[in-house]
Chain A
């Protein structure tokens, strides 16, 4: 027998163990692996508001134009986006950076709500539809020091809040919503004008756009308003247009307001003591708990006995508040989130926490933030899950289905959702990867 080699039978256990120990170890993520910040968009895309040009103008032969993006789609951005806002067919993204480019806009630009976007074909004209996130040039005095804190979008105007240079407004000003005097027959398309607002009693910490009006909340807790007032949404005691930001009085005089919200023609404000105040349109029973009139032009305290209120969000026809215990209350008209039978209520009704993922298994799951679109609601839990409900206009809920959602439904987003901005027919969310 020559025995040139041992016949290779099935490997014995100690051979297997040796092979296992000798195998190389791969490292996919080190201890210092950072979580990445991402932006996801979904909804109606033909206005360019989603910022993906290939949805509107396909860049490859096999791609088809995508009218609606029904599920979250990742949007590549150059910088980490800290604040986003959705308007009526356009979106603004802002970053906290000190670089020169701090704000990007995409979507409808017929009233220069995204500033002047110089067209490449004709250097004198601007783009009417911006399909990709394009930088908005702000006339800053110290562009490399000022930071953009927050952006907000209305129907055809936008507001940009900076930390040291006040508020910049652009877009349609036919009702004075940009805070400057109304010029008759002004042409807003292709306009270079960006107005700066500085005269407030203290630094502005939050800007909110309603449909055709603007609200400013200062550090001292006062609220200023300008714009259209036919529904009383400016809260200044009259139903006329205001073109200069004016301080609000009424029930909020002397009260330290910590949050303001508005989307359509109704406005809500939350004080530091947990009270909620409302003014504006009340045709849909939003303020019916205090008054029978359908337009309220002075802020009124809403005496709800539901606990200390932490956050409020105002939609087109329905409102939602979040209490300190983490309960969500809705009232108003429309799909409120308690099944198809609840269409309207003037008194807040609570949505059971079990619909937001609370169970005996996870008793500390609670809602952390609430947001409102025109006819949709969104809630973010402390576990990073996003729940949406309301009218599914052109796929804006992001559930993947085109039907309306009558109770809170999870949106599958690959990451932990940090913030979400709701518009009329699209939504933008800021997500941290795992």
Chain B
């Protein structure tokens, strides 16, 4: 970054004695660069970079992680206040229950799972969806008796714009092959451990047990996996390009919500 050509030095108008010709003291206006802007005086432009993190991502989880650099940190508070949904792919395994709900924990119990069918899983997910829809309406702090509450509910735009417990807005089965299954979960204000706990509870509801094998965030508000940079591309050019590509999206999103 420091090697990139920086800002041109500021120019100042100074009245300097005219060149040549001794004797006559004539002042001529001339534009000279300010000495304070000289690179040898100023030193390297960047000594530290402020990087802020967006929504938290676990050590055991993977996926899109939003960072703010420099002035972008101011947009991070706006990101929090937008309360947009995040999308995760959660992989689970039936038949085991561990103490920290993931497959690397200490085993608590093993159960049978051959009675589980896709239909039963869909039923449980419908109940989860239903209770979370209710929570969505309740925590949004809108007076249910107003006409605008009705209109927002029709469009599906009601969501909590303040602090709330984790809420799941949509669930869908992506893959189901006993004992493994994979779900796509859209949620708000959640933590990855909450998602693992949910997998465990789904196992309990189906009268068996389940552990979570994978949590991957594929979308965080307006940022998807396609915008995200994998470890091989953590270079200055790709970072700058990614920021440029996302600028438009970020602006439209902010204008829409706030």
Binding site for B on A (CB under 8 A): 19-20, 23-31, 33, 338-341, 352, 354-355, 357, 359, 361-362, 383-385, 403-407, 409-410, 412, 414, 416, 434
Contacts and interface: CB of A to CB of B under 8 A. Distances in A.
Nearest to B112: A27
B145 to A, nearest CB: 6
B126 A28 contact: no
A339 B143 CA distance: 12
A405 B144 contact: yes
Given A33-B115, A361-B172, A406-B144, A26 B110 contact: yes
A23 B115 contact: no
Given A25-B112, A359-B170, A339 B126 contact: no
Given A340-B146, A354-B156, A28 B130 contact: no
Given A26-B109, A26-B111, A29-B207, A403 B154 contact: no
Interface of B: 95-96, 107, 109-112, 114-115, 120, 123-124, 126-127, 129-131, 133-134, 137, 144-147, 149-151, 153-156, 170, 172, 205-208
Nearest to B172: A361
Nearest to A353: B154
A410 B208 contact: no
A78 to B, nearest CB: 25
Contacts of B127: 414, 434
A416 B126 CA distance: 10
B123 A434 contact: yes
Contacts, number: 92
Given A26-B110, A359-B170, A352 B130 contact: no
Nearest to A32: B115
B51 to A, nearest CB: 35
23 contacts: A23-B107, A24-B110, A26-B110, A27-B112, A31-B114, A338-B150, A340-B147, A355-B153, A359-B156, A359-B170, A361-B170, A384-B123, A384-B126, A403-B144, A404-B145, A406-B150, A407-B153, A409-B134, A410-B130, A410-B133, A410-B134, A412-B134, A434-B205
B110 A339 contact: no
Contacts of A384: 123, 126
A20 B144 CA distance: 51
A405 B205 CA distance: 30
Contacts of A352: 154
Chain A to chain B: the 7 pairs with minimum beta-carbon distance, closest first = A339-B150, A29-B207, A28-B207, A27-B112, A339-B147, A25-B110, A361-B170
Contacts of A30: 112, 115
A340 B153 CA distance: 13
B155 to A, nearest CB: 7
Contacts of B96: 20
A7 B172 CA distance: 49
Most chain B C-beta atoms within 10 Å of own C-beta, residue among A354, A404, A407, A412: A407
Most chain A C-beta atoms within 10 Å of own C-beta, residue among B124, B134, B172: B134
Nearest to A404: B145
Nearest to A24: B110
Contact of A339 (B114, B124, B130, B151): B151
A213 B110 CA distance: 60
Nearest to A26: B111
A354 B155 contact: yes
A416 B154 CA distance: 24
A263 to B, nearest CB: 25
Given A25-B111, A31-B115, 17 more contacts: A19-B107, A25-B112, A27-B111, A28-B112, A29-B115, A29-B207, A29-B208, A339-B149, A339-B151, A359-B156, A384-B123, A385-B126, A405-B144, A410-B133, A412-B130, A434-B123, A434-B127
Nearest to A27: B112
Contacts of B110: 20, 23-26
B208 to A, nearest CB: 7
A86 to B, nearest CB: 24
Given A23-B107, A352-B154, A434-B120, A406 B145 contact: yes
A335 B123 CA distance: 31
A246 to B, nearest CB: 44
Contacts of B130: 357, 385, 410, 412
B131 to A, nearest CB: 6
A361 B130 CA distance: 13
A414 B131 CA distance: 10
Contacts of A355: 153-154
A338 B109 CA distance: 49
A339 B145 CA distance: 7
A234 B48 CA distance: 86
A407 B154 CA distance: 9
A385 B126 CA distance: 8
Contacts of A362: 129
B200 to A, nearest CB: 14
Most chain A C-beta atoms within 10 Å of own C-beta, residue among B129, B146, B205, B208: B129
Nearest to B114: A31
